[in-house]
Structure 1
């Protein structure tokens, strides 16, 4: 990074792109993407486990339904994550 005193601007050099991967800015009460995916995975595990054992009202919908539901949920989440990441990209 270089500082241009005349224009009073910071100018990023080529190496700044290498750092962007590590810069996930999360607001104080927000959830980071890794935490979101972990929570979604844990929820999926619990629901599929309960569906497989026919527990609670989860048994009203079969195991295959829940599998497709969470697969779609993960796909939509990943697409949103990509879209959101491009919007906030430094470059």
Structure 2
């Protein structure tokens, strides 16, 4: 089962993507370069996260020290896109990613204030705005369902059981009211704990070697 933030979501490439920062997505002064206070709007965050190649780039930077050479970044992004190892990607696959990052994606993220991209040196570095973005991916594959639909289904099942018990359906009527209250509370508590675990450990950009959406 996938996981998602409880804030806002946007449908992209079959996944729900969300990015939320402190103070509703604002960032303060960047202490590294002394730039004035700037604001990363929610719309800008979603625009950046709407592209898988940019998500992969952010994941690599967040997981590997916040700074990388363009060549190194391109290799990892290309490997994830082609479901292979860095040593297995072809020169054309690497060049295609390198060119798109250099000419489009990194300049776009630089313009939004999420990274600092030095095209001359071929180096990209995260800014304070990216560090404050709390990013989760909800990956829904096969017969899996999103968490929102899971909770809706769980509520429907619990309601059906309570109605049947109230109507005196055997053997549900044998369970006391307090028992049904405990049952409903427990099912939602366990579900919420599992949801929180996956959100905080399995589905966050930058927390693992590979992005959540390419993990098996």
TM superposition score category, shorter chain reference: 0.7 to 0.9
Structure 2 distance, partners of 1:47, 1:87, is 33
Q: CA deviation at 1:73?
A: 1.1
CA RMSD after TM alignment = 2.7
Q: CA deviation at 1:70?
A: 1.3
- Higher-Rg structure is 2
Instruction: Give unpaired runs (5+ residues) of structure 2.
Output: 1-53, 58-67, 78-123, 207-216
Structure having the higher strand fraction is 2
Is 1:58 equivalent to 2:176 in the alignment?
Answer: no
Structure 2 distance, partners of 1:42, 1:77, is 14
Partner of 1:39: 153
TM-score, normalized by length of structure 1? 0.77
Structure having the higher helix fraction is 1
Note the 1:7-86 alignment, pairs <5 A.
Answer: 7-9=72-74, 13=126, 14=130, 17=133, 20-21=135-136, 23-86=137-200
Q: CA deviation at 1:38?
A: 0.6
Which runs of 4 or more aligned residues in structure 1 lie more than 2 Å from their structure 2 counterparts after TM superposition?
Answer: 1-6, 8-13, 15-18
Query: Contact between 1:48 and 1:66, CA under 8 Å: does it hold in 2?
Result: yes
Instruction: Give unpaired runs (5+ residues) of structure 1.
Output: none
